[in-house]
Amino acid sequence: MFKIISKKSLSSNIKRYEIEAGDIAKNAKAGQFVILRLHEKGERIPLTIAGKDTIKGTINIIFQEAGKTTTELGMLNEGDSIRDIVGPLGHPTEIEKFGTVVAVAGGVGTAEVLPVIKDLLKAGNKVITIVGSRNKDLLILEDELKENSSRLLIATDDGSYGIKGFVTTVLSDVVSKEKVDIVYAIGPVPMMKAVANMTKPLNIKTLVSLNPIMVDGTGMCGACRVSVGDKIKFACVDGPEFNAHQVNWDELISRLSLFKKFESASFENFKHNPECKCHKE
């Protein structure tokens, strides 16, 4: 069992938990994830490690309540426990001195960008962070991003904060003004795809962190397979980061829709009967 030490709402449906997991904290690096299962009947879901405290022996997860499991997870409180957490999984982000790095973050992907830019900045890079959200209320981690970026640029779809427009609008402006050595894009798939399409003709190396459907997360089942440069890659062991210009985005988008119907059925069922099974064991 893994105890929740603190709980914080970052926006209306995004929450941050600090969880006791000493051994995972010790070895976790930027870019890695955990797989968790809430209770006996729960599914295994991957979540990015959004920070850690080695001395306290804790890891942070940040998640958006989007379906049944994440909503149920959001109903837990400080002192409650999560039944299973395994990690850190996946390859860590390779941190080196590239020069000028642009990190593009969208939605809950912002949580994953934070540890990456922290390390990139420490490694001596100039880090320009571009974060996008639909509106001001959905923007998360602004202070932390600012603290760990050389420059922070904010874009909102409705113009309620920062620049009005998409992250690609801002990115296009940045790359037209200065030489960018590498781009990281972490967020919703359409956003990552748009960034990839933009940087490809400009020949700017671009890495994305993929979050396909997973089950075991240890390279056993192949649920998370993605086509990268015409090869099958397993996001859980070969990734989660890949060369954005080689990812077969349409296949990934299609594969993510595999259980759409099931997911909404499960969520509806849960909303009408929202008892948390964690407390019944």
Partner 1 sequence: MSQRIKMSERAPEIRNKDFEQVNLGYTDEQAAAEAKRCLQCKKPLCVTGCPVEINIPGFIKHIAANDPAGAIKVLKEKNNLPAVCGRVCPQENQCEKHCILGIKQEPVAIGNLERYAADKAAKATQTSQKEAVLNGKKVAVIGSGPAGLTCAGDLAKMGYDVTVFESLHDSGGVLRYGIPEFRLPAKVLDREIDSLKALGIKFIFNYLIGRTKTIQDLFEDGFEAVFIGAGAGLPTFPGVEGENFNNIYSANEFLVRINLMSAFKFPDFDTPIYKGRNVVVIGGGNTAMDSVRTAKRIGAESVKLVYRRTAEEMPARLEERHHALEEGIEFIELTAPVKFIADEKGFVKAVECIKMRLTEPDASGRKKPVAIEGSNFIIETDLVILALGLHPNPILPSLTKGLETNAKGYLIIDDKFMTTLDGVFAGGDIAGGSTVIQAMGMGKQAAKNIHAYLSR
User: Alpha helix locations (H) across the chain?
Assistant: 22-27, 68-74, 110-122, 142-147, 167-177, 189-199, 235-238, 249-256, 260-271
The residue (of 77 and 273) whose beta carbon lies closer to partner 1 is 273
Coil/strand/helix, residue 109? helix
Tell me the three state secondary structure of residue 83: coil
Dump the DSSP string for 208-257: EE-----SSSSSSS-TTEEEETTEEEEHHHH-SEEEGGGB-HHHHHHHHT
DSSP designation for 138: G
Nearer to partner 1 by Cβ, of 22 and 99: the residue is 22
Kindly state the smallest distance separating residue 24's Cβ from partner 1, in Å. 6
Judge whether 1 and 83 are in contact, CB under 8 Å. Answer: yes
Other residues' Cβ atoms within 10 Å of the Cβ of residue 53: 12
> In the complex, what is the shortest distance from the CB of residue 78 to partner 1, in angstroms, rounded to a whole number?
21
Answer for which of 265, 271, 274, 275 binds partner 1 (CB under 8 A) is: 265
CB of 218 to partner 1, least distance (A): 5
Burial class (CB in 10 A: 0-12, 13-18, 19+), 161: middle
- Regarding 229 and contact with partner 1 (CB under 8 A), the answer is no
Residue number with CB closer to partner 1 (59 or 145): 59
Which of 17, 166, 184, 234 is close enough to bind partner 1 by CB under 8 A? 234
State which of positions 6-25 bind partner 1 (CB under 8 A): 23-24
Rule CB under 8 A: say whether 61 interacts with partner 1: no
Structure tokens at 281: 């064991």
Return the residues of window 81-120 that contact partner 1 according to CB under 8 A.
83-89
- Closer of 92 and 165 to partner 1 (Cβ): 92
In the complex with partner 1, the residue whose CB is nearer, 105 or 208, is 208
Q: Which is nearer to partner 1, 130 or 189 (CB)?
A: 189
The residues facing 75 across adjacent strands are: none
Q: Under rule CB under 8 A, which residues in 30-59 are in contact with partner 1?
A: 37, 41-44
Residues that bind partner 1 (CB under 8 A): 23-24, 27, 37, 41-44, 68-69, 83-89, 215-216, 218-223, 225, 227, 232, 234, 237, 251, 254-255, 257-259, 262-263, 265-266, 269
